[in-house]
Amino acid sequence: MTSRFENVKNIFIDSVERNNYVELESAQHNYKLLEKSLDKPLKMILLFGKPGTGKSMLLNKLYHNLKESREIHYFDAPILSEKEFLRRVYEAITDKAVPNELRVNFDGLLRFCQKLKGEREIVFLLDECQLYSEALMEKIRLLSDTRVIKFVITLHKTENEDIIAKQHFKTRIWEVIELSNASEDDLYIYIQKKLIQKGFVEISNMIKKKHIRFIYTYTYGNFRESNKFLYTLFDIYEYFDENRPHKVSTEKLSKKFLEMTALKLGYIDG
């Protein structure tokens, strides 16, 4: 028999799908900033933050909300080949397929975009741009200079943050939206909403603020780390539910299971 906790743990699989989006006040604020930025005369907009702060989710939400009302394209995974990247951009702008054996000429693409100035504004959402080469980023910057293509890009925040200090970002990006980890209160709301949206009200009632405080101690409110913690926690619940059900209660969250989760993930020593 399948444990009831299998479906609970699967809620916390890290994903950017729309049906997994949880509306938080901080996320709503950043989304509104991003949406307003698209209406400004900006060439590039940067979403900046550590991995797991919700950058990809925000791009995904923006794309699905605006795709019916404006020209917008979403590259959800980095396209590391310059040939493939230029082909995808050209196909998106022209709605014409380019045979794989042919190469899109960058100078020709640039001239084509320049001719569209004043007629169209095309938005490209590019995730994980720290993986792009310097040469490809230079081409992206030149395309943005046409004022026909506007890029919204995400970058991971590094410890020394040297990438944001590079001259090309200082001169080209006019809007920087920085995302941060959730607060304890936001993490509590996030977990509660994730469970309630999927119909697990009984499980959500098990989780109290003291439990969130315990989780926050190790994940610091990072959504990716918190999802991993909750997935592992309910994986442990699933195991005991199937093998030692007398150890499982749905009235309150087990402190021992929380500690086992932290131990399994390497947050605490055995």
Above 50 in pLDDT, residue 38? Answer: yes
Domain for residue 102, yes or no? yes
My answer on whether 85 and 173 are in the same domain is yes
My answer on whether 119 and 203 are in the same domain is no
Instruction: Average the pLDDT over 18-43 and give the result.
Output: 85
Q: Which of the listed residues 143, 163, 178 is the one where a domain comes to its end?
A: 178
Six token digits for residue 163: 């990438």
Above 60 in pLDDT, residue 114? Answer: yes
Six token digits for residue 215: 């989780």
Six token digits for residue 137: 């980023």
Contact 204, 12 (CB under 8 A): no
Domain for residue 140, yes or no? yes
Q: Which of the listed residues 156, 178, 200 is the one where a domain comes to its end?
A: 178
SS3 for 73?
strand
Q: What's the whole-number average pLDDT of the chain?
A: 89
- Residue 107: CB atoms within 10 A of its CB come to 8
